Amino acid sequence: MKKAGLIIIGGIAAIIALTNVGPLISLIICLAILYYSFKQLLKTDNTGAKITWAIIVLVALMASVSHVPAILGLVAAYIVYLVYKKWNGDKKTRNEESSDPFANFEKQWANLKK
């Protein structure tokens, strides 16, 4: 039953993450423009250039803030990662228990000593 829940949650999160790839790419581009223009704003000494870079910074900032679906896509991608990690974590614990032939014997021996 846990596996079915993981499949459903992982599937929904994967669909959401895939549908938000476009906004994620757009957000990355807007943040790169914002970073570059802000660095140029801090470098320049000319007043006209400062005004121009400030306008570019404001436009890039507004464009970056408007990418709320991209944030949802990042959250969905993180959920897919957690589901993948949980899925593989369950396999590792089962394999570790089954690969050690003396693990069950040690548990039974500890129960007999009590």
Reading the chain (114 residues) residue by residue, the pLDDT tens digits are: 578 888 888 888 888 888 888 888 999 999 999 999 999 999 999 999 999 999 999 999 999 888 888 888 888 889 989 888 888 875 555 555 556 666 777 777 778 877
Q: Is residue 111 part of a domain?
A: no
pTM over 0.85: no
CA angle (55 as vertex; 50, 59 as ends), nearest 5? 145
Residue recorded with tokens 């079915």: 4
- Quote the pLDDT of residue 41: 93
Q: Is residue 73 part of a domain?
A: yes
Which residue type sits at 64? S
How many domains is the chain partitioned into structurally? 1
Tokens matching residue 33: 């423009």
Q: Is residue 23 part of a domain?
A: yes
Range of the domain at 88: 2-93
Q: Is residue 108 part of a domain?
A: no
Q: Is residue 101 part of a domain?
A: no
